[in-house]
Amino acid sequence: MDDQTRIEIEAAAFRRLQQHLMQDRRDVQNIDMMNLAGFCRNCLSRWYQEAAAERGVEMTKDEAREAYYGMPYSEWKEKYQTEANPEKQAAFKVAFAENVGESDG
């Protein structure tokens, strides 16, 4: 397989993952993803931002989140995010520190 085909296949797989998380499974909460898998939609938007920066494209965290979520993050939270119980919040702090290693702001 040539590099261009590989890149196109990888991009298609990413778009399908994005569709799954943004359309097919909006019910799955970021906190549950982070607690179970060590990443969430916000991580994907951050990786998108980092990939853009590596290619000389400047993008703020909010711009990257809007590009990934397809809407402002505040709108996503209002529409789809539910309140997490104290146990999930405590597990999130551990998972976030282990996987991201920075503040969750």
Q: Quick check: 48 pLDDT over 50? A: yes
Over range 81-92, report the average pLDDT: 91
CA pair distance 84, 40, nearest whole angstrom: 15
pLDDT tens-digit map of 2-46: 999 999 999 999 999 999 999 999 999 999 999 999 999 999 999
Over range 51-79, report the average pLDDT: 96
* Most distant CA pair in the chain, distance: 49
Helix (H, G, I), strand (E, B) or coil at 61: helix
Assess contact for 74 and 59: CB atoms under 8 A: no
Here the CATH number for the domain that contains residue 61 is 1.10.3340.10
| Domain extent at residue 56 | 3-99
In a domain? residue 30: yes
pTM of the complete model: 0.83
In a domain? residue 104: no
Assess contact for 21 and 28: CB atoms under 8 A: yes
The chain-wide mean pLDDT, for the chain, equals 92
In a domain? residue 34: yes
The number of folded domains in the chain is 1
Q: Quick check: 78 pLDDT over 60? A: yes
In a domain? residue 23: yes
Band of pLDDT at residue 102, cut at 50, 70 and 90: low
Short-list 56, 69, 61, 58, CA closest to 23:
69
